[in-house]
Amino acid sequence: MTEIERREPGTIDGRILLPREELAARLNAEWMLSLTGNTRAAYLNDVGLWHAWCELRGIDPLDARKPHIDRWITEQQQAGYAKRTVARRVSAVSAWYDFLRDSTAGTQLVLAEENPARTKRRPKVARDDSPTTGLSKAQARQLVQAADDDGPRSAALIRFLLNNGLRVGTAVSARIEDMTEDDGHRVILLRGKGDVRRKVPIPPPAYKAIMAMLAARGNPASGPLFATSTGRPVDRHYVFRLIRRLAAAAEISAAGRLSPHSLRHSFATEALKRGVPLHQLQDDMWHADPRTTEVYNRARNRLDKAAAYVVAGEFEPVADE
């Protein structure tokens, strides 16, 4: 139970009623502290966009109703934002309203009695449809070669992402001192989504590249595994730009649509092609819900086994003998 809840939301020591805006600000700060890493950054951005939209229209977010959310959704769709993006933003805003409501329910000052983000206008997104552009095995090899040509850090980082299918936030938070050995395996302790910490193996190609990268930096014993020239860890934006730059250098046609998640997608689909069981892949990708992993399997099967490949040749003109 938090300090605010012990004192009863809206009051100080059960006596003085806080202004609604101050209470909302306190709860908003508490909500952000309850989130971790990537989730906090994403939710902060999405809820911030909603607040900015309300401010431009003179609406207090605490007074917003479903028609306001519906209008926000419509304007985003008209601006060309993808369904997944709009749905994610509305989901974050909905979580914010739920927190305000649950934290003040039954008190002297109830915030968000109605969650306006629980609207039927929220875009429906097919769970088994992945919008991520993946790489073929040949393209992945081209990307690795481009990374090798670019330098030791690029070579190590691209292999680390591809070999383990890591989320970019997990990869850039890796630290040198967390590398060790366990039962003959080279491993590293990583922090994942939800602040979960787990030991994962470092396959030989990635390990060799990482050692070469660290040797070029003077073999530091601690600090960020992937660091800038100033010693600070690289961030997700750097990785995003790096992947597109290397893909363009490798003349990969989809270079402009690639992202760090493309490497994770490629890891998953290649693992499934190689016969890795879904339950093992779920564990390796740190998925709490097996349905998340199943998305990659359905997406792969839908392309590899598409009837289009079977039928297309039947409609081509037959050359005269």
> Which sign, positive or negative, has the C-alpha torsion 61, 65, 69, 75?
negative
- Is residue 214 domain-shared with residue 272, that is, in the same domain? yes
pLDDT at 319: 63
Contact 201, 185 (CB under 8 A): yes
The tens digit of pLDDT for each residue in 24-37 reads 888 888 887 777 66
pTM: 0.60
> Which sign, positive or negative, has the C-alpha torsion 19, 21, 24, 29?
negative
- Is residue 15 domain-shared with residue 161, that is, in the same domain? no
Specify the CATH number for the domain of residue 71.
1.10.150
Count CA atoms within 13 Å of residue 320 on its CB side: 0
Instruction: Let me know if residue 109 belongs to a domain.
Output: no
- Is residue 94 domain-shared with residue 195, that is, in the same domain? no
HEC secondary structure over 219-241:
CCCCCECCECCCCCECCHHHHHH
- Is residue 292 domain-shared with residue 143, that is, in the same domain? yes
Number of domains in the chain: 2
Mean pLDDT of 105-130: 76
- Is residue 95 domain-shared with residue 166, that is, in the same domain? no
Instruction: Let me know if residue 268 belongs to a domain.
Output: yes
Instruction: Let me know if residue 173 belongs to a domain.
Output: yes
- Is residue 158 domain-shared with residue 289, that is, in the same domain? yes
Instruction: Let me know if residue 115 belongs to a domain.
Output: no
Instruction: Let me know if residue 256 belongs to a domain.
Output: yes
Instruction: Let me know if residue 66 belongs to a domain.
Output: yes
- Is residue 262 domain-shared with residue 146, that is, in the same domain? yes
- Is residue 57 domain-shared with residue 144, that is, in the same domain? no
The residue among 86, 104, 122 that closes a domain is 104
Mean pLDDT of 139-153: 95
d(CA 246, CA 266): 16
d(CA 290, CA 286): 10
Mean pLDDT of 254-271: 87
Instruction: Let me know if residue 316 belongs to a domain.
Output: no
d(CA 267, CA 281): 10
- Is residue 61 domain-shared with residue 206, that is, in the same domain? no
What is the band of 320 on the pLDDT scale with cuts at 50, 70, 90? Answer: low
Contact 70, 90 (CB under 8 A): no
**Structural domain span for residue 68:** 3-104
pLDDT at 12: 40
Contact 209, 155 (CB under 8 A): yes
Please, which contacts does 167-170 make with residues 24 or more away whose CB atoms are closer than 8 Å?
Answer: 167/38, 167/192, 167/193, 167/260, 167/261, 167/264, 167/286, 168/236, 168/239, 168/240, 168/260, 168/261, 169/37, 169/38, 169/193, 169/236, 170/286
The tens digit of pLDDT for each residue in 40-97 reads 778 888 999 999 999 999 998 888 999 999 999 999 998 888 888 898 899 999 988 9
Helix (H, G, I), strand (E, B) or coil at 49: helix
The tens digit of pLDDT for each residue in 83-103 reads 888 988 999 999 889 888 888
Instruction: Let me know if residue 302 belongs to a domain.
Output: yes
Candidate from 2-11, 150-159, 272-281 with smallest mean pLDDT: 2-11
- Is residue 171 domain-shared with residue 245, that is, in the same domain? yes
- Is residue 172 domain-shared with residue 293, that is, in the same domain? yes
Structure tokens at 122: 């929220």
Structure tokens at 229: 């020239």
Closest CA to 120 of 182, 170, 164, 69: 69
Helix (H, G, I), strand (E, B) or coil at 201: strand
Mention every residue, 6+ apart, whose C-beta is less than 8 A from residue 73.
86, 90, 119, 121, 122, 123
- Is residue 243 domain-shared with residue 303, that is, in the same domain? yes
Structure tokens at 27: 């709860």
d(CA 190, CA 184): 18
d(CA 32, CA 15): 26
Structure tokens at 237: 């934006």
Specify the CATH number for the domain of residue 281.
1.10.443.10
Whether residue 170 has pLDDT greater than 80: yes
Whole-angstrom CA distances from 257 to 231, 254, 263, 318 are: 30, 5, 12, 37
